[in-house]
Chains A and B, each alone.
Chain A
Amino acid sequence: MTDAVTNTVNHIDPSASTTNTPLLQTKALTRHFKVGGSLSRKTLHAVDDANIIIDRQEIVALAGESGSGKSTIARLLARVYKPTSGEIYYQGRPLSQLRRRRDQLAYRSDVPMVFQDPFSSLNPAFRVSHGIMRGLKLHRKDISRANRYDEAERVLDAVGLTPASDILNRYPYELSGGQRQRIGFAQALAYKPKLILADEPVSMLDVSIRIGLLNVMADLRASQGVSFLYITHDIASARYVADRLIVMYAGHIVESGPTEVVLSNAKHPYTRLLLSAVPDPRAPLAIDAETDKGEPPKVIDPAPGCRFRWRCPLVVEECHHVTPVLRTLGIRHAAACHVARPDEG
């Protein structure tokens, strides 16, 4: 566990404006899905025991392959799914105790989501202004009806869409993929959020415009004080924007730490595999480097043991029987691996 976990338990205080309470924290967050027919008793372990901390104005990247459970975490945080067990604390308050509708709405406006596919996440029948103005109407009671339009222009400016008044009157089909995804961010921004859950926001876009959106995220963090949970399978882009990196494999968090530390000193063999897969013309390559043909397992009714053991080059006997837990192996750096060794000294 990172040392941050041990010194932050202050969730009794509901005012929670204290600075040492993380913005959002999960404890042993778990989500299982029932699979198979109605008589089936199989459960798919999408996320098991995830402990995540996101601080104010922090960009945290959550990386992993398809099926690793990263999107499930985003949906749990967005309250699309209810956790099977475990708890999410927002500014120190457990989410399961948000009973009043007003509190629930407040949480949703504080923690909006940006979706992967900008081509299907905008309603094609409405102008761009529609989505943004609706968000303002629902979640921003502080803005009078007369001022809503100005606010909508402001958020479009903030994500780099100019001239804002022109864009507001357009339909989604009149915009490029990159512009649409900026609209996604603008809609989230209209809520005056504290944390934006960005689920693979750039993976559908051309490489040449991805960087623009990553820059938008960095700018919003600086100018609006928003935190981001950036979900991606592209480690290079995580390195570009994120302060901290969490790597998931088959429902488990396998490594976490400051991005640069994790990348320069990856402890978990899976993190190393991800790193070696990044296509980078600036990095040297041996084409005949052994290819990994594995895929993340579907974690149905798992027995104890490391879930990476079938693909792992370093597997030892222990891996087959004991599920590794996150151990601190360096400064703020933790990995769940029996073989990984702590930093020297």
Chain B
Amino acid sequence: MPSAPILEVRDLRVEYASTRGPVGAVDGVDLDVHAGEFVGVVGESGCGKSTMLFAIAQLLSPPAEITGGRVLFNGNNLVTMTEKKLNVLRWRDFSVVMQSAMNALNPVKSIGAQFQDAIDAHNEHVARERPAEVMALVGIDPIHLKSYPHQLSGGMRQRAMIAMALLFTPDLVIMDEPTSALDVVAQRSLMVQIKQLQRDLGFAVIFVTHDMSLVSHFSDQLVVMYAGQVVEIGPTRQVFDTPQHPYSRGLLDAFPSIVGPKTKLTGIPGSPPDLGSPPAGCRFHPRCPQVFSDCRVVEPDLYEVGSAKARCLLHTELAATATARTAESETR
């Protein structure tokens, strides 16, 4: 991995204004993305993962507002940048692929015309063949540049969106659940394709999904978010093999496997907390199977565990004293 990250997110905070006061949707997120790296971001609905993406891309609109932190992209702080300067960077240096390609494309314009829109907006000199080139890259016959979105299947529309994101060969492509509207086979082939493109063209990817299994074979770094915070971050394989946060373990045990013995699964009981008034102490403690008394009081930090980091008090000396205490009184 190259040394300097292309994207450095430091202590990013986003709040939504609401009638009951501000709701902290993203609470102090730190994240480094290196050139050519594939970063998976997973968590349940409402954990702030999409809000974080929008904050990184500076696409938030009221009532959401960035209340603190920095987003350094190639050394420039995007948070304080003017809209005019941002418009130059957007799409040229980093692009965003939205969740539902069904709605992200303009239904009354051909795909090619929408590509042209992006090119015109940047006054950028782009070779005439470029749109056909990127379509071929994602495996669509360039003849479809003349097609309208309704003439393409869901998988092709999603591919066309990715092709559009690659028009200017950006350094970073931000993807918000690009495969969630597709079925398994299409999803799988799209993932493999994204990975191959990324290897060939060398751009970095931030990939948000609620399906942890989806990124398991594709991402280099995995970020697990819960209630607006990063609860675990580390090399993907390591997080999968030895999850250090009970929430990551819960997510991992939440889906059935097609291999191995059939076991009864429970998922994660309960639902994510109301971010308007998050629980005291560890935000996961009401749902945590390994909760102990300190979890209700002490707010955990990200602790280093091997080459990963986990926001869990089990990795502090508090856990040891707590187990000693419980061993005396009762068994969990």
Contacts and interface: CB of A to CB of B under 8 A. Distances in A.
Nearest to B252: A281
Contacts of B259: 280, 282-283
A263 B258 contact: yes
Nearest to B269: A212
Contact of A240 (B250, B265, B271): B265
Nearest to A209: B267
Contact of A295 (B153, B184, B195, B212): B153
A178 B256 contact: no
A86 interface: no
Nearest to B214: A279
Interface string B172-189: 000000000001111111
Contacts of A279: 184, 187-188, 191, 211, 213-214, 216-217
A283 B258 contact: yes
A312 interface: no
B74 to A, nearest CB: 28
Interface in A154-187: 176-178
A130 interface: no
Interface string A211-245: 11011000000000000000001111101100000
B85 interface: no
Contact of B257 (A215, A233, A283): A283
B170 interface: no
A211 B255 contact: yes
A279 B257 CA distance: 9
A239 B258 CA distance: 7
B189 A293 contact: yes
A292 B250 CA distance: 32
B185 A274 contact: yes
Given A278-B184, A279-B188, A292-B185, A211 B217 contact: no
Interface in A185-219: 206-212, 214-215
A289 B218 CA distance: 13
Nearest to A66: B183
Contacts of B240: 281
A164 to B, nearest CB: 18
B282 to A, nearest CB: 18
A65 B155 CA distance: 12
A234 B267 CA distance: 17
A276 to B, nearest CB: 8
A282 B259 CA distance: 8
Given A275-B258, A278-B184, A291 B192 contact: yes
A66 B182 CA distance: 8
A287 interface: yes
Contact of A281 (B45, B139, B186, B216): B216
B287 to A, nearest CB: 10
Interface residues of A, number: 40
A273 interface: yes
Interface in B248-273: 250-252, 254-260, 262, 264-269, 271
B258 A281 contact: no
B254 A207 contact: yes
Contacts of A289: 192
Contacts of B28: none
A280 B257 contact: yes
Contact of B212 (A207, A278, A283): A207
Interface residues of B, number: 44
A300 interface: no
Contact of B256 (A65, A237, A292): A237
A285 interface: yes
Contacts of B217: 279, 281, 285, 287
Nearest to A234: B184
B183 A233 contact: yes
Decide if the interface of chain B is mainly helix, strand, loop or mixed: loop
B294 interface: no
A210 B216 CA distance: 19
Contacts of A273: 185
B183 A65 contact: yes
Contact of A278 (B210, B218, B258, B267): B258
B210 A206 contact: yes
A211 B26 CA distance: 27
A108 B144 CA distance: 45
A287 B237 CA distance: 14
B44 interface: yes
A233 B184 contact: yes
Contacts of A211: 254-256, 265-267
A285 B259 CA distance: 13
B154 interface: yes
Contact of B260 (A208, A274, A282, A285): A282
A5 interface: no
B139 A210 contact: no
B212 A281 contact: yes
Nearest to B254: A208
Interface string A246-280: 00000000000000000100000000011111111
Interface string A73-114: 000000000000000000000000000000000000000000
B193 interface: yes
Contacts of B211: 207, 279
Contacts of B213: 207, 279-281
A176 B216 CA distance: 27
B255 A207 contact: yes
A208 B267 contact: yes
25 contacts: A65-B184, A206-B44, A207-B251, A207-B254, A208-B250, A208-B254, A208-B267, A211-B254, A211-B265, A211-B266, A212-B266, A215-B266, A233-B184, A236-B257, A240-B265, A278-B188, A278-B258, A279-B214, A282-B257, A283-B257, A283-B258, A287-B217, A287-B218, A291-B189, A295-B155
Interface of A: 65-66, 176-178, 206-212, 214-215, 233-237, 239-240, 263, 273-283, 285, 287, 289, 291-293, 295
| 3 tightest Cβ-Cβ pairs between the two chains A and B | A281-B216, A240-B256, A277-B188
